[in-house]
Structure 1
């Protein structure tokens, strides 16, 4: 079955949101979101999906959030930012801020780090990097379907990209919130599909 956004010769990139040890790895931290990441088994699926993008010669981009040491300049302007600052672990250069240990980086992968905001485009090079790769469609994976992924989809649409969200490669804070987002809200912005369909579509590129 064709995947809308990948069905007319569009050039996609895989954008993996906030799959960092301190956010998604049970070996480093515990949280309801990490429980969902673990229960849904999204990290191994994302690794497989990233391999399919690399095999097709397409970009794999990790977008992460990390603050400077001491959180100097990290603006606390919402409850989630306050929580990150209070925990004090997502510091650039630390294992907590690094990409998940089970998502090994390969030559050509990009990691775009930001210290402000809860979505990946504003204040980062993401748009410029995507345009440099002649990307038409942003394929989203990672966390979370509560905040970062809806934000990423909204920003991507505003910048003129088509968006595909790989549902079995994503998780939210709870099973209920994830289901609400992928059934009610995200379909207004993105094509909701699964990893096997995206991999099959890449094979026909």
Structure 2
């Protein structure tokens, strides 16, 4: 983000996290939910509107190209080798006229530009071809921040005996966070994959991962997650 010293911001955030971590641990937060026996990879909004430049939803391109996509590629390789469930989540709307009397956008378009993700333009909501779905993987279309809200996700995971979800994607402060919060509320062990989660705003990833790790799931590295899958 122009004008922001990201290194200094990161230093200040982690200084604050060190202090907050002591408070959380003293009060019994930051416990471990741990990995279960059968995981699914849930990738949130790693579609072109978010992963490529030129859209209102475009996220940090340096992190996207050098961390998130390579991290996803490593995770996909591990999941595919074990024939484990993979769900690619994306977002699009059919009625994008903000003045329409009826629309599938709800009221969210009054806050953010969801109207730019039009279902008719498949290129926008298609999963980035660097991590494109293969046969046997599911692409889920959502309308709200959480991949669980109003969708079939929980039912599909339970029907496939999934007890753990490894969550990746964007954005840390909204769709990823909401998916993780709903995931643990629905009884799944929630793992946020550290290097494979991004945002548009400096500091948003670090803050949200810190807070998620304290209250809603475990934050683990790509390497730890890949090692876990490989050992299943």
1:173 to 200, 218, 223: 200
Q: Is the 8 A contact 2:91 2:117 kept in 1?
A: no
List aligned pairs for 1:95-114, cutoff 5 A.
Answer: 95-114=123-142
Q: Rg bigger for which structure?
A: 2
Structure 1 position 125 matched with structure 2 position 152? yes
SS in 2 for 1:47: helix
1:138 to 165, 180, 202: 165
TM-score (norm 2): 0.77
The equivalent residue for 1:5 is 34
- How far is the alpha carbon of 1:81 from its aligned partner? 5.5
1:184 to 191, 211, 217: 211
- How far is the alpha carbon of 1:195 from its aligned partner? 0.8
Which residues of structure 2 form unaligned runs of 5+? 1-31
Q: Is the 8 A contact 1:137 1:162 kept in 2?
A: yes
List aligned pairs for 1:155-166, cutoff 5 A.
Answer: 155-166=182-193
- How far is the alpha carbon of 1:131 from its aligned partner? 0.9
Structure 1 position 89 matched with structure 2 position 100? no
Looking at structure 2, the residues matched to 34 and 74 of structure 1 have their Cα atoms a distance apart, in angstroms, of 28
2:46 to 4, 14, 19: 19
Which residues of structure 1 form unaligned runs of 5+? none
TM-score (norm 1): 0.86
- How far is the alpha carbon of 1:46 from its aligned partner? 0.5
Structure 1 position 151 matched with structure 2 position 178? yes
- How far is the alpha carbon of 1:164 from its aligned partner? 0.4
SS in 2 for 1:102: helix
1:80 to 1:21, Cα distance in 2 relative to 1, 3 A: farther
1:53 to 70, 79, 86: 79
- How far is the alpha carbon of 1:5 from its aligned partner? 2.6
